[in-house]
Amino acid sequence: MTQERGLLLVLSGPSGVGKGTVCAALRPRMTDLVYSVSATTRKPRTGEVEGVNYFFKAQQEFKRMIERDELLEWAEYVGNFYGTPREFVDKTLASGRDVFLEIEVQGALQVKEKYPEGIFIFLAPPDLNELRCRITGRGTETEESIRHRMQVAKAEIDLMDHYNYVVVNDEVEKACERIQAIVMAEHLKKERQIAKYRELIKEVNI
């Protein structure tokens, strides 16, 4: 029987909405997912590990990856570059395993152009005041940087229409449950199931 192709799941949303926190909480819940690690030129935050949270690259090295077309998507965000290695994603999907990308909004829109069949999930804050509090709470941003991030966030929320689902991150546990429900529903879609059963019918002698 033909190998069923895996789902490409893309989670993105404004900076500070809690993408990393939700992704970390999903890992023990959804152990079958393959979590793609992005490359970035930004400096590691406290507790972040090379090859686990990100591949941390110098800007010159990252630009070479762009030139060699080694990235599925890439974006420049607030002075730093982010990107997803292409080969790993392609091979994993072909093997039948689901791939989970946690990326910025610009990058998600690039992925959608190449993988329109992907499942795109927009992680939204309960409101913009809460988003500002989360960004401020990091303690790593200047007031100018916070203002810029909020302006970018407003523009990104306007792009919500490009996504298949919107999940509000009011509580991390609830956000995880909503994403799990989305993944289950996508696997049970008629379009994915019918092809499998048509092949099974062909293999049975009645």
Q: Is 205 a residue whose pLDDT tops 70? A: no
For position 7, what pLDDT does the model report?
95
- pLDDT tens for 173-197 read 999 999 999 999 999 998 888 877 8
User: For the domain that residue 116 is a member of, what is the CATH number?
Assistant: 3.40.50.300
Tell me the helix, strand and coil percentages in the chain, rounded to 5: 45, 20, 35
User: In whole angstroms, what is the distance from residue 32 CA to residue 81 CA?
Assistant: 29
Residue 3 within a domain: no
Residue 189 within a domain: yes
- pTM for this prediction: 0.80
How many distinct structural domains can be found in the chain? 1
- pLDDT tens for 60-106 read 999 999 999 899 999 888 889 988 988 889 889 999 999 999 988 98
Handedness of CA 3, 24, 51, 65 (dihedral sign): positive
Domain span holding position 162: 8-203
Contact by Cβ (8 Å): 102, 87 = no
Residue 33 within a domain: yes
Question: For residue 122, what are the CA distances in angstroms to 28, 42, 173?
Answer: 21, 23, 16
Residue 1 within a domain: no
Residue 2 within a domain: no
Residue 129 within a domain: yes
What's the CA dihedral at 36, 98, 119, 201 to 10 degrees? 160
- pLDDT tens for 43-68 read 888 899 998 888 899 999 999 999 99
